[in-house]
Structure formats: C-alpha cells, structure tokens
Amino acid sequence: MYHNNMEGRGVSNPNEAFDPHLPGLQYGVLDELTGYALRRAQLLITQAFDAAFGPEGITTQRVSALTLIALNPGMSQTRLAHAIGASRPQITVVVDALLELGLVERRPAPTDRRSVSLHLTAQGAETFPRLATRVRAHDARQTLALTPTQIDDLRRLLGGLGAGPANPTGAAHG
C-alpha cells in the first residue's frame, strides 16, 4: 500500500524501515544512476528525521519553512513556496500546519492587502532556536561516517546537480 502524506512525500509503509537494497533483487541500471542513489539516501535521511521529529509534528518541509520564515520575517507564502521548491497547495498545507502548531502567523502584507506575510509567533520565536540546534545535531548524526571535508564536498557536489544541458537555466534544485 502506498502512503502519501499531505506534504507530498510517499513511502510504501510508513511504519516499515526503507531498505535501499532488498536481498535477492537485481537493480541493474538503477545502481548506476546518481538520481537513484540520491533518492535512496534521501529516503533514509527523511525516515530518520521523521522518527526523531515526527511525534512533535515537525517534518523536513516544516523545518525548512520555519527556518526561512524565522530568518526572513514578512516573506510571502508564494516566495516561501519558491524557496523550498513546493507548489502553492503544498506550501499552504505546510504553513497551515505551522499555524496549528502555534509557530507561525499570517499577517496582512504591508504593501498589498490581498497578500499575507508570514511571521513567527512568540512561541515560534522561542521554539525555533532550540529546534535549529536539535536539527543540526540530528544532521550531524546522519553524517557520522563522513569527515567534515567529505560533508563539505558532498554539499558542494549536490549543489552542482541539475546544472547540466538538461537544465538550461543552470538553477540548482533543492
């Protein structure tokens, strides 16, 4: 059964650990593909994040949105969606969840009364620094097998993906 949560991530069974290589299966060309290796790693890292933060209602998209709102108070929901690579419906779900958690609020935009700007609530301003510290520690645990230089290299290399001829804008994806 395929499970797809409101923020667009899907896993075959949310209670079952993802195994990037099932014994007895031939993966063929998949093992040669950068995108497939990246997706396997992303699933493992997201699964660990969900186990650590999910019970609190924090997902990777929510922490990304919360970080951008904290550091860019007053940003529009459209700009936030663009910054994290989410569709407008997806970002509405993410922001609504942050509203329910009491971390974010929508205010009328000062320049356009039809638009809203996003801001941390008092609870969000109190929660964000602690959450950011925990997320950093969690990320460090996920990369324990790598040296600091390897981590920097990996981030730099990942930033270069998607900049080839198939993506004429050269824009990095994230």
Tens of pLDDT, residue by residue over 114-163, are 888 999 999 999 999 999 999 999 999 999 999 999 999 999 999 988 77
What crossing angle do the helices spanning 77-84 and 60-71 adopt, rounded to 10°?
120
Closest CA to 63 of 82, 46, 75: 46
Lowest mean pLDDT among 5-19, 34-48, 51-65, 109-123: 5-19
What is the domain partition of the chain in residue ranges? 57-153
Lowest mean pLDDT among 14-23, 68-77, 99-108, 138-147: 14-23
Topology given in CATH for the domain delimited by 57-153: Arc Repressor Mutant, subunit A (1.10.10)
Closest CA to 105 of 89, 113, 114, 116: 116
The mean pLDDT of 98-127, rounded to a whole number, is 93
